[in-house]
Amino acid sequence: MTHDKKQIELYQDAFNFLLDGDHELVVYGVLKKLYIRRDNPYYDDLVQEGMVAFVEKYIQAIGLNKEPDSYLVFIYQGVYWYLLDYLRKEMRHRAGIEEPDDKTNLMEELEDKKKSVGYYDTHILSDELMKQLTSDETRYLTLAYDYGMNISEIARECEASRTTVYQWRRGVIKKFQK
């Protein structure tokens, strides 16, 4: 069997899985979660995009050797993120915001903040603060400041409770005030 024939069969299996039972409801559920109603002029387009994403995620689940029981959860998440990304791109396109191509060096377009006095003041202050923080407080500050994570995301990342993350935060604030 040739590679193309296997690929065709894989796509056929994916479409069959989509149409089997009520699996199409995954796409409609994602649209509902995204607050896309039937009266939206792009509703039918988004349904089609969701169906294509469903098929792609099904094929990806097979390639990752996922358990058949977890297919729908994996596919739901994949369709959700795909449609969310699709909607963001559409909004940027309509707003006239250009998407950078792979040849654009984004670093060249940023201003050099290291030339400002404020950079040096902030840098010295942060070095002094970091010397006083515990490892957990440092981790909190890095995830919150550098990665823009919220309390829940930090708790998940550090496998800690939200209460613990709030304690780390209070420790950072207390030490910063000193």
The pLDDT assigned to 113 comes to 52
Tell me the pLDDT tens digit for each residue of 35-47: 888 888 888 888 8
The pLDDT assigned to 167 comes to 93
- Kindly report which listed range (67-71, 91-95, 150-154) carries the lowest average pLDDT score: 67-71
Average pLDDT over residues 75-95: 83
Query: Is domain 114-177 in CATH 1.10.10.10, yes or no?
Result: yes
- Residue identified by tokens 């910063």 is 176
The pLDDT assigned to 107 comes to 58
Q: Among 140, 149, 127, which Cα is nearest to 167's?
A: 140
Which H, E and C letters describe 49-66, residue by residue? HHHHHHHHHHHHHHHCCC
The pLDDT assigned to 121 comes to 52
Asked whether 56 and 31 are in contact (CB, 8 A), the reply is: no
Tokens representing residue 9 in the block: 């069969």
Residue 89 has pLDDT above 80, yes or no: yes
The pLDDT assigned to 159 comes to 92
Q: Rounded to whole angstroms, how far apart are CA atoms 38 and 31?
A: 9
Q: Rounded to whole angstroms, how far apart are CA atoms 27 and 43?
A: 11
Residues whose CB is less than 8 angstroms from the CB of residue 101 and which lie 6 or more positions away in sequence, other chains included: none
CA dihedral angle for residue 149, residue 150, residue 152, residue 155, rounded to 10 degrees: 50
The packing angle between helices 151-158 and 162-177, to 10°, is 110
pTM recorded for the entire structure: 0.50
Average of per-residue pLDDT values in the chain: 78
Sign, Cα dihedral of 105, 108, 109, 114: positive
Tell me the pLDDT tens digit for each residue of 93-148: 777 666 556 666 655 555 555 555 555 455 556 667 778 888 898 888 888 877 78
The pLDDT assigned to 103 comes to 65
